[in-house]
Chains A and B, each alone.
Chain A
Amino acid sequence: MENRQRLEQIDSGTMPDATAQQQPAKGAPRLLLMGQRRSGKSSISSVVFHKLPPNETLFIESTARIQKDSLSSFMDVQIWDFPGQIEIFENSNVTFDIDAIFGEIGALIWVIDAQDDYTESVARLHHTILNLQRSYPQINIEVFIHKVDGLSDDYKFDIQRNITIQIQDELSDQGIDNAPVNFHLTSIYDHSIFEAFSKVIQKLIPRLGQLEAMLTNLCRTCRFEKAYLFDVNTKIYIATDNTPEDMSSYEICCDFVDVIIDFTEVYGSWPRTQQWRDRLEGEPWDQPLEDQVACDRAEAGMILSDSQRPIMLREVDRFLALVAIMKEGSYDKMPQINMNVDVVVKGLEEFFRITKQKNIVEPTIMKGPGRPLQGGR
């Protein structure tokens, strides 16, 4: 509670007109975006969370104050975008309430511009990790080595190796060995940024293992090659089965979701007339439209010409969709597969109902004596 109050003080004090209208639920994980100026932090959050086309990020102005966004999806996440010029740990003018910033954090994302000289950024990152390790050792530190589009593969991996070694050496010099620091190569011009965010978000999901087990099971029964559970709005995948990661499967599934979203917008987002409906529900159908469909949610399938491999999609709820790449020639088995998918979708709903509930119940328990829900037990 103290954290929250102090946080509000910061809100009203140092940045009066920061998005104060949002009061996200307590316990919503927070992602902090930090890094040097012009390293691409705001572009990242615009592309991932606001669907800005990557080439339009050219027009984004430099961020002057902390930008707060919240993503309400299957899980509420806050995204704080820090201006590059702010030094959290050494700033003589404004003292930041470190606890308010890092107290409820989910992950710190440090963005490094790979096309620029990154010595200073790495030094600052190192400094930040040291400071955080003292008080908040549980915070995940995710380093995005950014703007790697246009760099050759060799060069990319060289940079990654350099930075990793530098950070780890310096940390172990200070006696810190197992800091939770991860490195990702990213670019907003391809899927890598979404993939990196997927990894970051997955670490924040309670009982991820359970989700993965469900998907693995589905893949085995339906002979899927790969299945993903997507957050439709951001194209972040929140779980996948346990077969090895494969960037190209992720890309095609991601784009499949995009195509479906576009189709839905064009043909599914405007109201039809009553006459239209009346005609369709009259002779020879004599049934309400709702009863004429087999599945009340979005379902899609397509077949690649090459080797006749199908890809299928099924809406799970308002935020999530299941996308899977199927084995060659298995489109004929679609009816059976649909039944299996039905079961898994029900299971997923149950899963999120239970984990969501937990989030709501916990604070009430913590609040004290009342315990309205759990009273007698």
Chain B
Amino acid sequence: MLKKIQNWFDERIGLTELINEFNGERIPRRGGWAYTFGSLLAFLFTVQVTTGIFLLFYYVPYFPMARNATYYIKHHVFLGNILLGIHLWAAFTMIFFLLVHMSRVYFSGAYKKPRELQWIVGMVLFSVVVVLGLTGYMLIGNENSWWTINVLTNVASHTPIIGGFLRIVVRGGTETSVLTMQHIFAVHVWLLPIVVILFIPIHLFLIRKTGHQGMALEYKNSKLPDDDINKWKHPDATVPFFPDQFYKDMIISLAVFAVVYILAVVYGAAIGPMYRPLALNFAPEADWYFLANEELLKYFPGHGLIIFSTFLVPTIGFAILFALPFIDRGHERSPFKRPAATVLGILFLLLLVYLTLIGGEPKAPATV
């Protein structure tokens, strides 16, 4: 019976061949577990889309009632706290593993020719996901959301020339208002998810075109020199994507999902108080992944320097990251054979961790 159905499809669209083509992709064998982060991120994105769609059943993007709607989902909708918790913790996990995925690619030199486009598309995805996180934080509609909207639109207003216009466009008006919330909502649930949904297939297509080259340790038996481009086309051993690599992807996905689920059940999503415009003792704070940037904003005081922290440093930082494959053009892939890149990478990660840790410290007296 099943065979008959299969034949029906094969005669018309060659389904079996198509599936084998997808599943049979050769993956370098030795580093299997290190290559699971991409699939993990795709999985987490699916979780975000699924939970997000169902959160929309109750959510209203109307400031400040959005906070009541979120509160209602958490406390009055059956199992709503778990759904909300998964959406929050999977978002945090996603950003964390994006950094892990990027670090893995960086230290194993996987962005080098011919995979420059792969890295750039990945950077687009990274930028979009961070903005998804920030807009999600704003949509809760609590006190932090309000101040985050104000702070970030003010940051945007320091962009040279277009800054003032940018702030008005993002806010949907001259004030932070109901329209601002509606704009952020549209960006969070439609615009950016669609960008991600478009760029993930491009990311995957590029892998298929350039081949899964894997880390340097896949080429121990290769006699070719490092600057021979053919060397990186033939790893010592490969396995098919399905089931060998997919099996590992699934195990990692399950492990991470279990952690997300436990965090969602035990800690849930903190909602915080309603926006009180007259409160004298409220100290807004950013989510953990934004603390490094937050810390940076303190170091450039005064009219002349503020542009460094709001525009120049982040922009130049991102530009360097985007252009990484064109800056580092050596052929060496092993982290041990290119010490400068490795040391710089480690220093950058340490700086990020340091800024995040001190960014979490209270920056002003909590009371006035």
A binds B: no
